[in-house]
Homo-oligomer: A and B are copies of this chain.
Amino acid sequence: MKFHYPNGKKYVQTNHSPKKSNAKQISYSNRGMTLEEDINETNQYYLAHQKAVIHKKPTPVQIVDVHYPTRSAAVIKEAYFKQPSTTDYNGVYKSRYIDFEAKETKNKTSFPLQNFHEHQIRHMESVHMQDGITFVLLRFSLSEEVYLLPFGPLKHYWDRMESGGRKSIKKQEIEQEGFRIPLGLHPRVDYLKIVHQIYF
């Protein structure tokens, strides 16, 4: 999980980055892959095999100052990370709209809801009301378990927090209401298989 927001945390560009920092290799799973990398690989697989067209949205940036050196590319000299107003991933599968967010935690027994922002929940709610397919992919990094949790139960636990309840979802609750995604080699996180079972 990466925070691309102005929250004081370091930003690490992962797309197409051949180098991996040691910190990441230690802190994430044995395979040294983040959930984002796994999903990107999976989406490329889907695209190449004409199973779906799903992309990660670019990180939203507020551009303040751009320089135009003669005969070379424009250089952005001052910009700031903006809070995204939607989820990170969307696209199409068998004519239906797919929309999801992917997050990971190092916790073992629960998933903190602070991983999501209120406007993301509101966005997913709007998508849900348009009959779009919307869910979250949750990864427990230490055990490498990935779950698909549909918007319905996510909203339930979000509302529980809003009305003063716990600020996380118990892992047990995710096991009961979510769907475990077996990890593969190619694609690595075949979430469409689960999507097909649940929504089609």
Contact = CB atoms under 8 A, between A and B. Distances in A.
B75 A80 contact: yes
Contact of A92 (B59, B61, B76, B130): B130
Nearest to A9: B74
B132 A53 contact: yes
A10 interface: yes
A130 to B, nearest CB: 5
A48 to B, nearest CB: 10
Given A80-B73, A92-B99, A130-B95, A58 B61 contact: yes
A21 B61 CA distance: 21
B68 A8 contact: yes
A131 interface: yes
Contacts of A45: none
A77 B74 contact: no
B68 A76 contact: no
Contacts of A92: 97, 99, 127, 130-132
Name, among A62, A76, A94, the residue most crowded by chain B CB atoms within 10 Å (CB to CB). Answer: A76
Interface stretch (A83-91, A106-114, A165-173): A83-91
5 smallest beta-carbon distances between A and B, as pairs: A6-B73, A95-B131, A92-B97, A92-B132, A58-B60
Interface of A: 6, 8, 10-11, 13, 47, 50, 52-53, 55, 57-63, 66, 68, 71, 73-82, 84-86, 90-99, 123, 126-127, 129-132
7 contacts: A6-B73, A58-B59, A73-B80, A75-B78, A75-B79, A76-B76, A77-B77
